[in-house]
Every structure is written in structure tokens, then in C-alpha cells.
Amino acid sequence: MSKGKLLAASIVWLMILAVGVITWKVVFAPAVEVSRAEQERLAAEKARQEREAMLKRGGSASRYHTQVNLALDGFSGYAVLRSPEFAEALRKQGIKLDLVDDGADYPARLKSLKEGKTDLAVFTIDALVKTCAEEGDLPATIVALIDETVGADAIVAYKEVYPNVDALNDPETRFVLTPDSPSETLTRVVISRFQLDQLSADPLIKVADAAAVVDKYKASKPGDKLAYALWQPFVAQMLKNERTHVVVDSSRFPSAIVDVLVASDDFIAKNRETVLEVVKAYLTVNHQYRSDADRIQLVMEDAASLDAALTREEAAQLVEGVWWKNTQENLAHFGAKPEAKLPHLEDMIAGVTRVMLESGAIAADPTDGHPNYLYDDSVLKELIDFHPGDEAEKIRGAMMPKLTDKQWESLIPAGTARAPKLVFARGTARLTERSRVLLDDLAGTLQSTRYYVIVRGNASRQGDLEANQKLASQRAQEVERYLIEQGVDRDRLRAIGVQPSGDTSVSFVLGELAY
């Protein structure tokens, strides 16, 4: 094509475009604007008619702009969510709260979120992971932490049958518990964290609820190989028998049993500001009940309203066994305050998922190795400068106290940690690359327990006994040094060499101070 023809074609197309633009402005655009204006006029007229009809009926405009449906159950840890103060705090923001008690039916709870029948709900992290795995979908996301049990759940047994966790390592042992409850989670954590390789393939006896666990205990004989996993105040009821004791409780496993507030993905996408107001209201009211006395009174009133009255002593034991997460702790868990040294929510989810996989509670990780898919940190991080009250909040549980030599010597062994077989170069304390990889994994496990750790080195009995004893100590010290490098608190570790027995491995004994 010649330059002249190309120029002529370009001019023609420009003229066509100009005519199109003029036609749109003159003919179509006014019609669109009229249509929009007409739609706005009709909408305004409809609103006016509705107001007039309402006034004729003697009504008025609603004080609420949003209704929030929140699914939960009767656990006392949710007392703040059921409190009048929480509902009133939301009411002031124009949000109407509707609580839906589904009796702790977690699959139904997740389905309700997915279908949009409820907007927010409370789950334990393990229940959320499990139900998402069963659903094959991740329809909800964590927006805040509610509480963490630090003793409210426990495994109770007869002292003479199970004096410690190691004694549970028996093929006849059976754990009586309520399925899909925090007590089942605690049992699975114990099986995962301790060397309990002699248990049967299915050591769980599942009953309806904690009251049914107590009934099973009442029908048993003292010598039966039964351990009972349940929660307060039922734990206190069983401990009235002086022959029973707590073998292990949830205080030893930080971040294992944690209640979280979740929002459906659809709701948070459409109503993010409402979710933010709900979280702020919860943290504010939770702060109002920060004293033990106020919390005990709240728990008692809440239990009475659910026809499950508690004595003051029972309420006090429950409050002692639960840490309600405040604003600062929430920020720390969501990564907004890394200096606090609390576990990040991502690691908490990963740890719980691992326990459930190891114990057979789920067949596959619903996040496919991406625990960050299960939470949204944008809401909490927007509250970095938020203060729910005048009194400063404390961050609990970051560190364990340092022990004296006398305390280390009097430490009570709780059980042997489940740990991989470490390999050392022959006749040396040098770790192989394979052992370093195994210790990397063990470091994460130890950080998710609240036990002191005795690292016991061993060695061969062949050759010079004194040299072997020294080698045993060196191996323990090398393992201790490596674990500290991986982030395990040095004040929780003590390396010792035991009398050589022929085993060249290192074992890990978890210990606790005497009460």
C-alpha cells in the first residue's frame, strides 16, 4: 500500500471514530444517564414509601445496619461472647448479634459458614483443621484468638496404674474420651509427643461427653488399664478420689488447644469493617473481665444461664486453666509483635496439623502445606495501636523460669520424649547431617511443650569405660548446643552423660517441678 493510500485510510478511520464518539455523547449517553437517574429516583421513592408505611404502622428506622450470626457452643471459654457487654458494644456500632448454639457440631458449623447461614464462628484450631480436611475445602479464615487451655483439659488416672506418662506405654492402655473434643486433642498430642510406641493401633474409647467419661470411671476398678481425658469441672470431680491424679494436662503443651474466631471467606470479603468492629468489641469486653474475680463471676453467671451451674470453686479452677487471649497476645501470635516470642499462628496451625496427621485423625493436610491459608492477619494488624482500656496488658507464657542446680536434681521425670534415633560418627560426639535434620524437627516439637528437657547421652560399653562415659557426656552436650542454636530456650535444657549401657543414642526425658 502506498503512503498516500495509507494516509487516506487513517483519515477515514479517524472520521468514523469521531462520528461514533459524537453519536454516543448525543444519543446514548443521555439515555444511560436518564436511566441511572431514573433508577436512583425509583429507589428513593421506594425507600420513601417504605418509611411512610412504617410510620403508619407506628414503627421507625432500625438502629442496626448489620446483623451478625455467630455459631458457638456452651464452653465456658466463650462466656465473653455471650456476655451482655459484648452484645451492647456491638449494638453501639449498629451491629445486631445473633448467637447460634449448635452443640459443638463442628462439621455442621463449617457447612453453615460455607453456605452463608452464619457469618462468624468459634473453633479450636484442631477442629477447624479436621473439619476442613473432611470438607475438602477452606471456606473460613481465622481472624482472632479467643483463648488457650493451660490445664483445663487433663488426662486423669489411678496413681498406682499410671504414675507418669511413660507408664501409659502399654498395649492394654485405653483412653476414655469424648470424640472431636479438646480432650481428644490432648490425648493425641500426648501420643505424638511422648515415646508411646507400645500402644495398640486404636487405644481410644469414645463416649458421648465428659459426664459419660466420669460414668465410665465410676464403673471401673482401680486396676483397670484406663486413663480418662476430660475437662474442668469434671477433672476436679475425679480428683476428689485421693487415689487418682493428673498424669498430664494441657498446660504442658502451649498452643495445642486454642479457640479461635473465624469468619466465612464470603463475609469477610463483603463486610471487613464489621469483622473489625466485632474483634474490637470482643477484645474490649475481654479486657473488662481481666481480673480473676471478675472472670470467675462471669463464668458462674454464664454457666447458670445455660442451666449448668458451677460452684465458685469449680469456676475458679476453670478460670485458672484457661488463658483468654488479650489484644497484645493476639498481636504477638499474628506476627505483629515478634519481640514477644509467642508462637506465630502459622506455626501453631502447622504443629496441630502435624499431630493430627501423625495420630491418624486426618488423612491429609487440608492446607496442602500452607497453614497461612487458614488465617487473615490484616484485621489484627490494623489494631496495632488499639488499646481496649487504660491498664496495660501483659503477654503471658513466653518463657519458663530458670532452674537452680538443686531444682534440676529434684526434677520429676514426666516421660520420655518421642525422638528420632540420632547417628554419631563412630567413637565421636560429631553429629551427622542426617542427625542435624532430625534435630531440626525435634526442636520444633520441644518448643511446643512446657517441660524441662534432660538430654541423656549414652555410649558403648566396649573399651575404656571412663572414656566412654566422657563420650556420652560430649554427645549430650553437642545435642544440647545444636538445639539451642535452633531456638530451644537454653534454660530448659540440661545435658548429662549416663553410665554407658551399650546404646550409642541420645534420649530426651521431659521433667517438671514438684508441686
DSSP 225: -
**What pairs with residue 69 in β-bridges?**
98
**pTM of the predicted structure, to 2 decimals:** 0.83
Region of residue 248 (phi > 0: left; psi between -120 and 50: alpha; otherwise: beta): beta
DSSP annotation of 344 reads P
Q: Which residues of 86-116 are buried (b: 16+ CB within 10 A; e: fewer)?
A: bbebbeebebebeeeeeebebeebbebbbee
- Which of the four CATH numbers 3.40.190.10, 3.40.50.1100, 3.90.650.10, 3.10.310.10 does domain 66-150+256-381 have? 3.40.190.10
Looking at the domain that runs over 405-512, which CATH code has it been given? Answer: 3.30.1330.60
Q: Where are the domains of the chain?
A: 28-59, 66-150+256-381, 153-252, 405-512
AA letter at 344: H
From residue 48, give the alpha-carbon distance in Å to each of 43, 55, 63.
Answer: 9, 11, 17
- In which element (H, E) is residue 500 found? none
Residue 467: predicted pLDDT? 87
Distances from the Cα of 414 to the Cα of 146, 223, 228, 270, 330, angstroms: 29, 21, 17, 50, 31
Express each pLDDT in 466-475 by its tens digit.
Answer: 888 899 999 9
Residue 4 vs residue 175, higher pLDDT? 175
Q: In the prediction, which pLDDT does 2 show?
A: 60
Confidence label for 168 from pLDDT (cuts 50, 70 and 90): very high
Q: Do domains 66-150+256-381 and 405-512 have the same CATH topology?
A: no
Percent with pLDDT over 90 in the chain? 75
Ranking 54-63, 196-205, 266-275 by mean pLDDT, the lowest is 54-63
pLDDT band at 192 (very low <50, low <70, confident <90, very high): very high
| Per-residue pLDDT, 505 | 80
pLDDT at 418 (0 to 100): 92
Q: Which residue has the higher pLDDT, 7 or 93?
A: 93
Cis-peptide into 420, omega within 30 deg: no
What is the percent of the chain where pLDDT is above 70?
88
Domain 153-252 is in which class? alpha beta
